[in-house]
Amino acid sequence: MEFKTDALVLRSADYGENDKIVTLLTAEKGKLAAAVKGVKKPTAKLNFAAQPFCFAEYVLAEKGARRTVTGASLHDGFFALREDIAAFYAATCVTQACDLILYEGMAGGELLVCAVQALGALSDGKGAGALVLFLLKALCLAGYPVRAGACPVCGATPSGRMKFDMEAGVFTCSDHSEGVPASESTYRAVRAAYAGEEGTDDGNLRALRLLGAYFSLKTDATLKALEGYLRLLHPLH
Ligand SMILES: [Zn+2]
């Protein structure tokens, strides 16, 4: 059986002498693995379809549990990501996050749209703010939304030193939850991302640290590329 689906390459690994196995985030069937045959030869027609960040319409042949890519037509390869090391790390955070939160059978359509938007923004030179927004959306789709509104205990807008409640995913006044300490700049960066605005560099950096910790706690998995990205943003720490 053969089917077509829009898909993004989350990972690509060598397989055998000449083949690769790609992990795809597909619109219709969530995450799945497929072989791309003969792509170690530099002239192979489907080379592009086995590259990380490739977003294309894939034609997949399914035989039992095995899938093979038999065709692909490129939507966007996000090639600018290969020329900027920070953007590359940020983009790798996007694909790693998708890979880690998608469980077998989970629908992938909305996450695919968010990931493609984020890779587009990172290719266009948008920095940490684009990654903050993507992680917020991805966490929400995974069932772990982050709320940065009024304190749920007293209804006031938190300011100054505050807390982030890791259980509930919500910012509170400093004495209204047992959360981890959070700064106002973190809170403001999260609000800015939701509002489609750019947070400050410091706020985005802090927000990424917090979202990375929250992601690890909720998914029991580490976004390894995020550590590398944060080191690039802030080499002294
Ligand atoms: Zn409060």
CA distance 77 to 204: 26
Radius of gyration of the chain (CA): 19
Question: Measured in angstroms, how far is the CA atom of residue 142 from the centroid of ligand 1?
Answer: 27
Question: Measured in angstroms, how far is the CA atom of residue 187 from the centroid of ligand 1?
Answer: 14
Other C-beta atoms lying within 10 Å of the C-beta of residue 81: 21
For the chain, first and last CA: distance in Å?
A: 52
Q: Give all domains of the chain, ordered by start, each with its CATH number.
A: 2-76 (2.40.50.140), 79-233 (1.20.1440.120)
Write the DSSP symbol of residue 147. Answer: B
For each of the chain's 237 residues, which pLDDT tens digit applies? Answer: 899 999 999 999 999 989 999 999 999 899 999 999 998 887 889 999 999 999 999 999 999 889 999 999 999 999 999 999 999 999 999 999 999 999 766 789 999 999 999 999 999 999 999 999 999 999 999 999 999 999 999 999 999 999 999 999 999 999 999 999 999 999 999 999 999 999 999 999 999 999 999 999 999 999 999 999 999 988 765
* pTM more than 0.75: yes
Beta-carbon contacts of 1 under 8 Å, excluding residues fewer than 6 positions away, are: 61, 62, 63
Tokens encoding 188: 């403001």
Q: Does the CA dihedral 69-71-74-75 come out positive or negative?
A: negative
Question: Measured in angstroms, how far is the CA atom of residue 211 from the centroid of ligand 1?
Answer: 21
Question: Measured in angstroms, how far is the CA atom of residue 222 from the centroid of ligand 1?
Answer: 31
Question: Measured in angstroms, how far is the CA atom of residue 148 from the centroid of ligand 1?
Answer: 12
